[in-house]
Amino acid sequence: MTETLPTVRQAQQPGDAKPGLRIAMIGHGFMGAAHSQGWRVAPRFFDLPLHPEMAVLVGRTGADASAAAWGWGEAATDWREVIARDDIDVIDIVTPGDTHAEIAVAALAAGKHVLCEKPLANTVAEAEAMDAAATDAAARGVRSMVGFTYRRVPATTFARDLVAQGRIGEIRQVRAEYLQDWLTDAESPLTWRLDKELAGSGALGDIGAHAIDLTEYITGQKVTTVSGIIETLVAERPVLGEGSGLSGTAGTTRGPVTVDDLALFTGRLESGALASFEATRFRTGRKNALRIEISGSKGAIAFDLERLNELEFYDATLPETQLGFQRILVTEHDHPYLAPWWPTGHMLGYEHGFSHQVVDFVTAIADGTQPRPSFADGLHVQRVLDAVERSSNAGSAWTPTGS
């Protein structure tokens, strides 16, 4: 069969009449690199209604080098000055969680659309303030979205579609886990993700938040009550010597780890179905395994981020002789987000979710609709995280999430 190649859209050419959308990104760690890739690549492959321009990269130190490397027009050091500029339309927040609320609330008040990395904030109170600011801004046509990027992996969106079409029937059980192992070495240093002041929580908020959001996204149901336990496995580590984030090196003195390393919890969905969750950065050998398995009355689906182009689907309505999980390669042009990419069978990777995130956010801005996940969705996840911590403190008591 002759394969029709997708039309690859070239970068915006002079004379292309699309209105511009000028972006300022605040922060330039690992997520800054990933978001930059999204902003740069999305308009080259997708026919966006507005043309994102990578205008300013903001960072207290070293932003010049990152801006040059990732293709931002200029670098700046003061986010308040950048938010006050008339030539900026969007603020993209990729800083540690302790600054999300202050930046987002200020940006929304200044009439800038805001994309904010997950988890939305470090506390429920901060997330509530952000949600209130977002509601107020929405009335003025200003949009906001939280960066739960794994919703934008074609296979997870396709899983959501199958569930919505009733292909697995009534949901009876969910197992969701996010497993990494980058902290198994007890001598790896105290980066900001191990500091409660900066990160809010540990594995729970960093990666457990993804497991919660993905469960709610695919099932279309919220987690209403939880029972959990969180634990710190290595209480002290070398302080940070050189570098930062995931690539920081160990210094000579030691300091306390103030966040959880492992979070185990069960939750009830709106329908009453039970879900089990696990978030750990200590699962030896698992590098980035965000896995979800959903069992229903008519079938089941299973996804693993380490094999992100695949979705397992079990159709229990087939004759017994044909039963079995089928492995669907989610690379067809008719699968979600895939039309403008490569010929059938040619895989996508981690970074494509960030382009899809840009597509959805920019489209919503142009259409004047509320993009999802909204700050209200982010606030809800924050309440689930908070309920897990409260449950753990109360000896794993069942604790309503309040949503």
79 versus 178: smaller Cβ distance to ligand SOE: 178
Please name the residue that has the structure tokens 């299973």.
Answer: 302
CB of 350 to ligand SOE, least distance (A): 8
305 versus 379: smaller Cβ distance to ligand SOE: 305
93 versus 207: smaller Cβ distance to ligand SOE: 207
Q: Which residues contact 167 (CB under 8 A, 6 or more apart)?
A: 298, 299, 313, 315
CB of 119 to ligand SOE, least distance (A): 9
CB 249 within 8 A of CB 243: yes
> What residues from 303 to 322 belong to the interface with ligand SOE (CB under 6 A)?
none
CB of 98 to ligand SOE, least distance (A): 14
Pairing of strands 326-329, 310-315: antiparallel
CA end-to-end distance (rounded Å), the chain? 51
30 versus 141: smaller Cβ distance to ligand SOE: 30
CB of 188 to ligand SOE, least distance (A): 12
206 versus 377: smaller Cβ distance to ligand SOE: 206
Cβ-in-10-Å burial (0-12, 13-18, 19+) of 287 comes to exposed
Q: Is 206 in the site for ligand SOE (CB under 6 A)?
A: yes
Please give the Cα distance from 303 to 39 (Å, whole number).
26
CB of 12 to ligand SOE, least distance (A): 29
178 versus 361: smaller Cβ distance to ligand SOE: 178
CB of 183 to ligand SOE, least distance (A): 9
Q: Which residues contact 335 (CB under 8 A, 6 or more apart)?
A: 154, 155, 158
> What residues from 18 to 37 belong to the interface with ligand SOE (CB under 6 A)?
30
Cross-strand pairs, 300: 295, 314
CB of 206 to ligand SOE, least distance (A): 5
CB neighbours of residue 296 within 10 Å: 22
Q: Is 177 in the site for ligand SOE (CB under 6 A)?
A: no
Closest Cα to residue 353, out of 365, 368, 336?
Answer: 336
> What residues from 62 to 121 belong to the interface with ligand SOE (CB under 6 A)?
none
Structure tokens belonging to residue 260: 């959880």
Q: Which residues contact 105 (CB under 8 A, 6 or more apart)?
A: 129, 130, 133
ω before 373 within 30° of 0 (cis)?
yes
* Residues in the chain, total: 403
> What residues from 337 to 376 belong to the interface with ligand SOE (CB under 6 A)?
none
> What residues from 133 to 152 belong to the interface with ligand SOE (CB under 6 A)?
none
Which residue sits closest to ligand SOE, CB atoms considered?
206
> What residues from 207 to 226 belong to the interface with ligand SOE (CB under 6 A)?
207
CB of 126 to ligand SOE, least distance (A): 18
110 versus 230: smaller Cβ distance to ligand SOE: 230
Q: Is 180 in the site for ligand SOE (CB under 6 A)?
A: yes
CB 288 within 8 A of CB 276: no
Task: Report CA-CA distances (Å) from 254 to 104, 243, 261.
Answer: 34, 16, 17
CB of 299 to ligand SOE, least distance (A): 28
Q: Is 381 in the site for ligand SOE (CB under 6 A)?
A: no
CB of 30 to ligand SOE, least distance (A): 6
Pairing of strands 223-231, 262-269: antiparallel
52 versus 200: smaller Cβ distance to ligand SOE: 200
Please give the Cα distance from 101 to 115 (Å, whole number).
12
Vertex 34 angle, CA 356 and 164, to 5°: 30
157 versus 180: smaller Cβ distance to ligand SOE: 180
Number of residues engaging ligand SOE in binding (CB under 6 A): 4
What are the b/e assignments for 211-229, b being 16+ CB within 10 Å?
bbbbbbbbbebbbbbbbbe
259 versus 301: smaller Cβ distance to ligand SOE: 259
Q: Is 278 in the site for ligand SOE (CB under 6 A)?
A: no
- Binding residues for ligand SOE, rule: CB under 6 A, are 30, 180, 206-207
